[in-house]
């Protein structure tokens, strides 16, 4: 049951990313996506295998839905976050964006708990909210750094990053 749900969310996020206004170029968004995918994959691996604070399901379809969430959906949320963040001028809009995307990511974790894809033997949902907010802050920092590199490339008259 969880696999079709997360595939649907993934497809909807792809359409959102494709048709939204972006300040970052395609290459910069791709770099952002790849780095965030590596971060979220390593986070999942460390938490499940090394520390054993999170227990993943042994069911193949449920585990695939967890992988789709961590390797595809979360990096796309990071790409949406930074592009909307850079397009917004108001601190209020940036705060609302941060809180709404944090709520979205946390609700995905709640759905994983509901579908019994993951279990928290030595972890709590509050810790997950904190880690999700750190993830969004990392995506903002990475996106700002990539945006600055992109602006320097354009100023030099070189190829756009």
Task: Judge whether 83 and 20 are in contact, CB under 8 Å.
Answer: yes
What's the pTM value of the predicted model, to 2 decimals? 0.91
Residue 161's pLDDT is: 56
- What pLDDT score does 10 carry? 96
Contacts of 136 (CB under 8 A, 6+ apart): 77, 78, 81, 98, 101, 102, 105
Q: Mean pLDDT for each 10-residue chunk of the chain (161 residues)?
A: 92 95 93 96 87 88 92 96 94 96 96 91 88 96 94 76 56
């Amino acid at each position: 049951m969880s696999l079709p749900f997360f595939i649907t969310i993934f497809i909807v996020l792809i359409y959102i990313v494709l048709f939204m206004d972006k300040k970052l170029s395609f290459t910069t968004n791709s770099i952002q996506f790849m780095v965030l995918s590596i971060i979220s994959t390593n986070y999942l691996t460390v938490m499940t295998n090394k520390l054993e604070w999170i227990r993943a399901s042994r069911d193949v379809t449920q585990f695939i839905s967890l992988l789709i969430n961590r390797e595809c959906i979360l990096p796309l949320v990071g790409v949406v976050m930074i592009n909307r963040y850079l397009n917004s001028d108001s601190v209020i809009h940036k705060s609302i964006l941060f809180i709404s995307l944090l709520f979205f990511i946390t609700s995905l974790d709640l759905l994983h708990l509901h579908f019994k894809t993951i279990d928290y033997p030595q972890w709590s949902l509050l810790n997950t909210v904190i880690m999700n907010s750190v993830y969004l802050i990392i995506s903002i920092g990475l996106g700002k750094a990539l945006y600055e590199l992109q602006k320097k490339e354009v100023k030099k008259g070189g190829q756009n990053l």
